[in-house]
Structure 1
C-alpha cells in the first residue's frame, strides 16, 4: 500500500485542482474539513498532510497541533492564501510545520516539497524500525548475560 498525501481545504476547487495535479505522482486523499481529514488519518497511512490555514471550525495550525500526539511522524505543510507572519510563527512553533507555502501553489515546487516530505517520513519510519530491532537485540544479549558493546 502506498503512503498517502492528505490535502485539507474547505474550497472544493482547490481540492479538485490538487487531486488533478498530483494523482499520477502520489496516493492522494482530500478532505473539506479538519473532521473529515481526521477520519482519513485514522483509516489510511498518511505520510504528508497539507492543510489550508483558514477554514471554518478549526484553523490548519489548530488541526496540525491536535494530531501531533497521535501522528508525530507525519510531515506537515501549511498552505494559505494569506501571508500572515503570526500564522507562520504559530505553524512552526505549535504545529511543527515542515513548510509554509502561499497560494496559489506552483505544481513543480509543491511536488518537490511533497517528495522531500515523503522521504523524511520514510526515513523516520525506517529509523524507528531499526531502533526497535536494536532494542530487541540488546534485550536478547541481556537475557544471555553478555555485556553490550
Structure 2
C-alpha cells in the first residue's frame, strides 16, 4: 500500500479549510490550520510533505509563515495561494519563503491537485538524493578507515 502524501493547508477562513479537506481528504493525508502559529506547531509534531498557505492572514502573512517554516523544517514543498494579485507578496514568497509555486484563489481542483503532485515528486526525489548521499558518506568513512589501517600496517 502506497503512503499518502501529507499536506498542510493554512488559511484563516475556516470555510476554505473545510472545502479543501472535503475535496482532498480521500486522496491525501490532510492537515489544516487557521493560523501560522498553529501550523508551525503541526509541522513540529507531524511529517509534512507539502504546505499550502494563504497569503493574507492576520498576525502572520503567508510569506512570514513560510519564512518561519524554513527555520523549523525546510524540507516540505511550499505553495502560496492568494486571492489578491499582490506581486510584491509573490516576489517575497519566492525570495523569502522559497515557494515552489504560486496559485490564485479561487483555486481550481485540477490545477491544485496537479501542483501538489508535481511538488511531491520533487520532494520525493530530494529525499532519495539525501538518502543516497547519507549512504555515500558511510561508505566514504569506511573506505577512509580501511585506508588508515593499510597505511598503519
Partner Cα distance (2:61, 2:140) in 1? 44
Structure (1 or 2) with the greater helix fraction = 2
Partner Cα distance (1:120, 1:70) in 2? 20
Unaligned 5+ runs, structure 2: none
Q: Aligned with 1:82: secondary structure?
A: coil
Contact 1:4 1:44 in 2 (8 A): no
Alignment equivalent of 1:37, drawn from 29, 36, 39:
39
Q: Aligned with 1:69: secondary structure?
A: helix
Moved more, 76-85 or 116-125: 116-125
Contact 1:3 1:45 in 2 (8 A): no
Partner Cα distance (2:123, 2:12) in 1? 26
Alpha-carbon RMSD: 1.1
Deviation at 1:67, TM superposition (A): 1.5
Partner Cα distance (1:88, 1:35) in 2? 21
Deviation at 1:19, TM superposition (A): 0.4
User: Deviations 1:118-146 (Å, cap 9, x if unpaired)?
Assistant: 11111111111110000100000000007
Partner Cα distance (1:3, 1:41) in 2? 14
1:101 matched to which residue of 2? 103
Alignment equivalent of 2:63, drawn from 61, 64, 87:
61
TM-score (norm. length: structure 2): 0.92
Q: After TM superposition, where is structure 1 displaced by more than 2 Å over at least 4 residues in a row?
A: none
Deviation at 1:62, TM superposition (A): 0.3
Deviation at 1:66, TM superposition (A): 1.2
TM-score (norm. length: structure 1): 0.94
1:76 matched to which residue of 2? 78
User: Deviations 1:7-54 (Å, cap 9, x if unpaired)?
Assistant: 000000000000011111111000001111111101111010000000
Aligned pairs (5 A) from 1:10-49: 10-49=12-51
Unaligned 5+ runs, structure 1: none
Partner Cα distance (2:61, 2:55) in 1? 5
* Length, aligned pairs only: 146
Q: Which has the larger radius of gyration?
A: 2
